[in-house]
Structure 1
Amino acid sequence: MDSDMDYERPNVETIKCVVVGDNAVGKTRLICARACNATLTQYQLLATHVPTVWAIDQYRVCQEVLERSRDVVDDVSVSLRLWDTFGDHHKDRRFAYGRSDVVVLCFSIANPNSLHHVKTMWYPEIKHFCPRAPVILVGCQLDLRYADLEAVNRARRPLARPIKPNEILPPEKGREVAKELGIPYYETSVVAQFGIKDVFDNAIRAALISRRHLQFWKSHLRNVQRPLLQAPFLPPRPPPPIIIVPDPPSNNEERPAHLLEDPLCADVILVLQEKIKIYAHKIYLSTSSSKFYDLFLMDLSEEDQQSAAGHGFGVAVTAAAERMLHQEERHHGRDFLLRAASFDICESTEEAGSGQRKPCLRASTSDGILRGNRYENGERGLRRGRDLSSWSRAFTSIQEEMAEDPLTYKSKLMVVVKMDASIQPGPFRAVLKYLYTGELDENERDLMHIAHIAELLEVFDLRMMVANILNNEAFMNQEITKAFHVRRTNRVKECLAKGTFSGTTLGRGGGPAAAPRSPLGGALPDGWGARTSWFCPMREWGSRTVGQQALTRLPWGF
């Protein structure tokens, strides 16, 4: 089929579209993408630019190009003829403007000079040679706005001009020039195959509207719309982040036991012999000992004065505190009943010195109602607590009060637990080390006191480990340690699911999730700046939400 037949077909509008602009802005590639459905390879993208022009003879010699020139826009059949031009052949370009229906004016978003030439050279030239032809402003090479320019510059030829990040033009720059000139503005990318159809379909609309003013008798031009707005370009999806899970801590300094030496994010104070303070963490104690779990879940807000008096709790309550207790009793109106039974091995120092060991199994029960919602007026306000002498022989009292953080030296709410006077600091630290790590040193001296404390706290696995050491079967403790970690992992998962002991909110895509503070701090090695900027002191305990980006850097583990 000869190309001249398009001019003779009824109701087929032939549109001559001239594409102009500076050299190397992408005019020829834009035309080839529309006329030949050509795509840009990586080799062509990185090759040194060679000025070329797309021959208009392609419509005569290539049937495929002729077929692709035909289109239907707003129910109007058109045949689009694209004219390519050189950016620097000024004398020959005036012949291309002749009888043009629309002009597509191109610039590169990676070349600010090409946009400057739009106002200073190209637009005045277009209005000089074809004053009535509508103009469409097009920003080419849109993909460079979101590309890795360093990688692009490295892959290009040595003599190619490097692309600088500060030369990339935002879309607002093109819109400002288009608004100043009163013409539509579009952006295209041959690499991403974006905006090609938008540019030429709206160029056809602009040409048909201009023709409708002159050929008003053509009824099929009545429904032609003005150039439409362009949908925004969706940037390419960034590659997924590379998540590297660090190896578990290899030295003792990075293990949870190190938190006993450096109380990072501590929330419990254990008081021994009325003067020795040991800072600890609820989550480690509760997931390792059911006794501590019940202790920290006690409701300290209920009160039954009659029951408290019946059990002999000598608690001095001021008049203001009594009114508060009476109000809480009206709201809650229920008793908190906890019973405990344990066996203890009573050994006197005299018997130990004489070499005679007479273990005495003694049962200790609490059949009454655990009461004692104790409020004390102090310098830091009301404190609430309980007397624990009838609940367990390991503890004497528990209370919540404002205490000074050992690292930040700022006041915060902490749980203060006073231990029984018979508990020695050395063996108790060995018990705490077991509760944190599940391990017991074979060279511990006072194993019987450790077994005594384990009996009070109902940590029966620790008693078994002591028995294995005394029976020269310490190798069996490895299995106990493995079972300890499995059991505590399951308890930690349960606490996370229920939000128990939660002090931190972890931000994630599906919503916030509660988590305890202490394992987060314990999971951070020293080299990560845990003590200086991150979880210590959790932004000075002011923020309780941690973003998901930060969570990807944590070596989770207990």
Structure 2
Amino acid sequence: MPLFAAKSADMMAGEASSKKKGKIGRQESCKSSGKDDLDERPIAGASSTQDKTRTGIRVYKIVVLGDGGVGKSAVTLQFVSHSFLDYHDPTIEDSYQQQAVIDGEPALLDILDTAGQVEFTAMRDQYMRCGEGFLICYSVTDRHSFQEALEYKKLIQKVRASEDTPLVLVGNKFDLHAQRKVSTEEGKSLARQLGCPFYETSACLRTYVDDAFHTLVREIRRKEREKLGLHGGDRKANRHSKWWRLRSILALVFKRKKQNFNS
């Protein structure tokens, strides 16, 4: 697997738009705050026909994981607003949306930037259940954060044992050459172990930030097609699989919650 994909060209004006949705409560990351959100936000594990806005754009629920201080918020903010902050308050939970055209197909990325601090670890199971794809981040200047990246993968497997969840591994701060503690080869080796694409990014220089998010969307699409049996499988038989039944149950539960909310 190559270390870097070719860097994406600057997106044309009007191709992408971003909207910060603000901090949301710890217990509401999988919920909606109102009727409009209920209509537009995706259902974790729901079929692609349900994961769309009213305009028909597919919504991709993405979760950014990693230890505190690795630059998760900086990477996310560069992607959605093309800006870099030297200082950012430690995240509890921020949610953002970014629209993009990836491989000629429009997509709305619903991004959850999570807390890396130890005191917020109780929230992680909720993140794991909600996300369709995960960006696992570490800092190339912090070996402990690199070692913890594998633990995040194990946590995802623990919560979603029956799913092959799309992942992208990101080594941030690669512009800080003098402070590097984790080599590029070590990052590539871990990515092979995790079975996922790998990028070294710089939130400061905005290097390979778009590529990491866009590749994760591609991974979600690819694995979704595989699950739906579009590559030689029997789609009808797949509808009766345990995975399909689970998705149907989740959709039904969400529908009932919506009816209760509206009543």
Whether contact under 8 Å (2:91, 2:113) holds in the other structure is: no
- In structure 2, the CA distance between the partners of 1:72 and 1:50, relative to structure 1 (3 Å rule), is closer
In structure 2, C-alpha distance between the alignment counterparts of 1:173 and 1:31, rounded to whole Å = 24
Q: Which residue of 2 aligns with 1:25?
A: 70
Give SS of 1:98's match: helix
Q: Which residue of 2 aligns with 1:117?
A: 148
- In structure 2, the CA distance between the partners of 1:50 and 1:39, relative to structure 1 (3 Å rule), is closer
Q: Which residue of 2 aligns with 1:130?
A: 160
Q: Which moved more, 1:128-137 or 1:183-192?
A: 128-137
5 Å matches for 1:205-216? 205-216=218-229
In structure 1, C-alpha distance between the alignment counterparts of 2:55 and 2:68, rounded to whole Å = 38
Shift of 1:71: 1.4
Whether contact under 8 Å (2:94, 2:114) holds in the other structure is: no
Q: Which residue of 2 aligns with 1:79?
A: 108
Match of 1:103 among 126, 130, 134: 134
> Aligned pair count?
182
Shift of 1:211: 1.4
- In structure 2, the CA distance between the partners of 1:53 and 1:142, relative to structure 1 (3 Å rule), is farther
Q: Which has the higher contact order (CA 8 A, sep 6+)?
A: 2
Q: Which residue of 2 aligns with 1:94?
A: 125
Whether contact under 8 Å (1:19, 1:105) holds in the other structure is: yes
Letter in 2 for 1:141: K
CA offsets 1:232-281 (integer angstroms, 9 cap, x no match): xxxxxxxxxxxxxxxxxxxxxxxxxxxxxxxxxxxxxxxxxxxxxxxxxx
Q: Computing the radius of gyration over CA atoms, which structure comes out larger, 1 or 2?
A: 1
Give SS of 2:176's match: helix
TM-score (structure 2 length as normaliser): 0.63
- In structure 2, the CA distance between the partners of 1:215 and 1:72, relative to structure 1 (3 Å rule), is farther
Give SS of 2:215's match: helix
TM-score (structure 1 length as normaliser): 0.31
Shift of 1:53: 4.0
Q: Which residue of 1 aligns with 2:187?
A: 174
Instruction: Quote the RMSD (CA, aligned, Å).
Output: 2.5
Letter in 2 for 1:73: I
Shift of 1:39: 2.2
Give SS of 2:94's match: coil
In structure 2, C-alpha distance between the alignment counterparts of 1:204 and 1:188, rounded to whole Å = 17
1:142 aligns with 2:187: no
In structure 2, C-alpha distance between the alignment counterparts of 1:124 and 1:77, rounded to whole Å = 32
Whether contact under 8 Å (2:71, 2:172) holds in the other structure is: yes
Give SS of 2:91's match: coil
Give SS of 2:134's match: strand
5 Å matches for 1:177-188? 177-188=190-201
- In structure 2, the CA distance between the partners of 1:213 and 1:12, relative to structure 1 (3 Å rule), is farther
Shift of 1:79: 0.8
Whether contact under 8 Å (1:31, 1:54) holds in the other structure is: no
1:35 aligns with 2:80: yes
- In structure 2, the CA distance between the partners of 1:90 and 1:5, relative to structure 1 (3 Å rule), is closer
Q: Which residue of 1 aligns with 2:33?
A: none
1:52 aligns with 2:97: no
Whether contact under 8 Å (2:63, 2:134) holds in the other structure is: yes
Q: Which runs of 5+ in 2 are unaligned?
A: 1-18, 20-35, 42-51, 232-263
Q: Which residue of 1 aligns with 2:203?
A: 190
1:203 aligns with 2:235: no
Match of 2:61 among 7, 16, 19: 16
Shift of 1:70: 1.5
Give SS of 2:61's match: strand
Letter in 2 for 1:103: F
In structure 2, C-alpha distance between the alignment counterparts of 1:13 and 1:215, rounded to whole Å = 16
Percent of residue pairs bearing the same amino acid type: 25
Letter in 1 for 2:94: A
5 Å matches for 1:218-297? none
Q: Which residue of 2 aligns with 1:385?
A: none
In structure 2, C-alpha distance between the alignment counterparts of 1:23 and 1:93, rounded to whole Å = 13
Q: Which residue of 2 aligns with 1:266?
A: none
Shift of 1:188: 0.8
Whether contact under 8 Å (1:22, 1:106) holds in the other structure is: yes
Whether contact under 8 Å (1:21, 1:122) holds in the other structure is: yes
Whether contact under 8 Å (1:28, 1:53) holds in the other structure is: no
Shift of 1:10: 6.3
